[in-house]
Structure 1
C-alpha cells in the first residue's frame, strides 16, 4: 500500500477520479509537494489540492501524512474548488457550499468504494511494477533516486494569508 500511494505512474492506472497529478518538487528526502485534481459527481464541482506529503518508513510501520499548502506557482484555478486537506485527507474541507447531509451521503458511498479500489490497486501493484521500464525506481524509499526539482518551503508560504474562492458549487447550475 505504501508504494501504491506513492507511485505517481501507477496512480494513473487505478485512480478513476484523478484528472491531473503534478509533482511540483521535493523539500527533502521525506517531503514533497504536488498538485492533484479530481472529478466529482454532478452537481458537485471538481476539486483540486496542493499537498505537502510527508512519509517515514520504519520497516514494520509506514507513515504517510498529507496536508494542504499554498504554492506560488499553483494558485486556485477557474473550474475547480480548491479543497483543503488538514491531515491525510481524512479530515478534508471540500470547500464551496455543500449541505452537511450531502457531504455525509457522498462520504458513506464514496469511502467504501475508495477502500475497495485501493485494495485492488495494492493487489496488482507488484505485477504492474515488474513490467515497467525501471521496476526498481522508488524514490520514496531510495532518496538517491529523486529526480524532481528541489523546492524551498518559502515557495509554499502564502504571503497574503487571504484565500479567495473563485467558484462555488451553486455557480453554473
Structure 2
C-alpha cells in the first residue's frame, strides 16, 4: 500500500530538479519539516531494519528515490552533522569511499564543491561525483528546537571533467536533516542518483536493504569515536 503522508503547509514540495543552481531558504525549511510531517505520497515502505525505515518512490525513468527515517542512539545532532561533513574523517571510517575531498579552488557563492568517488562491487566500475553541498541550522517554529540540514546536488565544473576509469554520475541529490531526540539524534535522509549502466536489480536491492542500514550503524559508531 502506498503512503499518502501529511500535507498541511507543504502542499507543494519542490523536487530537486526544480531547484536553481543554489539552494533556497524553502529547500532547507521543507527538508527540516520532514521530521515533523513526513512527505510520503506515492512512496512504499521498502525495508524496516534496526528501527531504520526506508521508503522508495519509482520515478518516470524507472529509477527509485529513497527517504530514510530513524534514530541514532546516544549521538548528539551537532556531532552527527560534523561527522557527515568531515571529508577527511569519512575517508577513514567509510569503506565505500575511494576519494572524497572539498574542491577548494571552486569559487562558490555559498556552500562547498565536493569530489566523491564511490567503490562499487566487482566487476562494476566505480562511480564518481562532483556536487555542491550547503549546510544550515534551521530553527523550528514548533518547540524552538534546532535542526541541522545539509543539501547536496550534482554540478558541473570544467576543471573536473569525467575520468575515463570511472563512471561520472551527473544526476544526483541528497538531503539530510538531524535534530535532538530523547534517545540521541533523529535523522531524515532523501536520496536519488542515476548510476548509469546496467546494474543488476539484486545489487540495488542489497545496497538499500542491507548496506544502507549497515552504513548508518557505521556512521553511528564513527560519531561515538569522533573528536572535534
Interval of TM-score (by shorter of Structure 1 and Structure 2): 0.5 to 0.7
Aligned match for 2:160, one of 74, 77, 82:
74
User: Which residue of structure 1 aligns with residue 87 of structure 2?
Assistant: 8
Which residue is 2:9 aligned to?
A: none
Listed as ranges, the matches of 1:1-173 within 5 Å are: 1-25=80-104, 27-28=108-109, 30-58=110-138, 60-83=146-169, 84-88=171-175, 90-125=191-226, 128-129=227-228
5+ residue gaps, structure 1, are 130-173
Count of residue pairs brought into register by the alignment? 126
TM-score normalised per structure 2: 0.51
Query: Which one has the bigger strand percentage?
Result: 2
Question: Higher helix fraction: Structure 1 or Structure 2?
Answer: 1
| Contact 2:91/2:98 (<8 A) preserved | no
Distance 2:161 2:85 in 1: 24
CA distance in 2, matches of 1:120, 1:62: 19
Between 1:33-42 and 1:57-66, the stretch displaced more is: 57-66
Q: Distance in 1 between matches of 2:211 and 2:162?
A: 25
Q: TM-score, normalised by structure 1?
A: 0.66
- Greater RCO, CA 8 A, separation 6+: 1
Structure 1 residue 102 displacement after superposition: 2.9
Distance 1:117 1:17 in 2: 11
User: Structure 2 regions of 5+ residues with no counterpart?
Assistant: 1-79, 140-145, 176-189
Residue 107 of structure 1 and its aligned partner are, at CA, apart by: 2.0
Q: Which of structure 1's runs of 4+ aligned residues deviate more than 4 A? A: none
| CA drift at 1:8 | 2.1
| RMSD of aligned alpha carbons | 1.8
Deviating more after overlay: 50-59 vs 86-95: 86-95
